[in-house]
Structure 1
Amino acid sequence: MDVMRSVAADEARERLAAALASVARGDRKAFHDVYQRTSAKLYGICCRILGEGQDAEDALQEAYVNVWRRAERFDASRASPITWLAAIARNTAIDRLRARGNRSTAPIEEAFDLADPTPRADALIEEAGESARLYGCLGELGGQEAALIRTAFLEGASYPELAERAGEPLGTIKSRIRRGLMKLRDCLCR
């Protein structure tokens, strides 16, 4: 499940980065897409700094104006799209706060309540390493054992379904999977 969540997060990040690239070329539809995907989070950042209300809404609007103007500066190799957008919203809200002369902000620890639901970078790197090891070890198995394990554990097929698909007895399928799992365990423990 974590691998699927990681893949989904990567795909969402890539779609957002592509949308920002389109915004840099003046694509209004892409800008609307960026807004739809990120406005709730960015509004939360503005509210945390400015408190709820018109000031936070104005800061959010100003942040998106800045996104429109600066989209060509976004570099996916340097930051994730949501991090870049959050920095713009944060800086816009802080500028508004400074302009009104009121410096009562919430402690930085409260920002954890607004945490991005995607895994942290170190967790993604660790997951990617574990996934690479798993797929590498699956590659060392015999073709049929690896296919049975992939189908059973990654696609969710039951043993009886596998036996029916292969046209073999259920006991044979279970034995092959058990042998494959033991080899897989040995490989992963190296």
Structure 2
Amino acid sequence: MTTLEDIEHYINRIALGDRDAFASLYNSTSAKLFGVTLRVLNNRAEADDALQEVYIKVWRAAGRYQSNGLSPMTWLITIARNHAIDRLRTRKKGQTGLDEVAELADPAAGPEAQAIASSQRAQINDCLDELPADRAKAVRRAYLDGDTYQDLADLMQVPLNTIRTWLRRSLIKLKDCLSQ
């Protein structure tokens, strides 16, 4: 049976890069640390993955371990528990499993909606073509490009109220055309 002094010795040897000490530490403590990760994660495969990552952390952090009279198992269990909690938090933050992804709706329009939109777009363009060119241009720039009435008045070199009248009358004509 491995004693706490043996575990402490393994950790000190691991800090020096001793692979045999690492293997001995793993053999002596992996069952206990697996239990810790499994209890937190409640998933055997994920707990096994977490355990491997815990031992990588132990390998890298062994040089920072200090004997302080407490059990070296406390240090190892703390690393395992904190790592498992981090994984659990990451999982809860929104990582979606494949089963859940399959049920997500596609935000893009489906083929039927695309066909309807295409038909409506063609109808709107046909109705815009029935307007005088300057009126159609004003409607497109105001309602599709976001130009202000003042921008249109400056661009077309007409008074602001004229632009307002053109747009109002053009929208009435478009409404009539689209309702046919």
Greater relative CO, 1 or 2 (CA 8 Å, sep 6+):
1
Normalising by structure 2, we get a TM-score of: 0.49
Normalising by structure 1, we get a TM-score of: 0.47
Larger Rg belongs to? 2
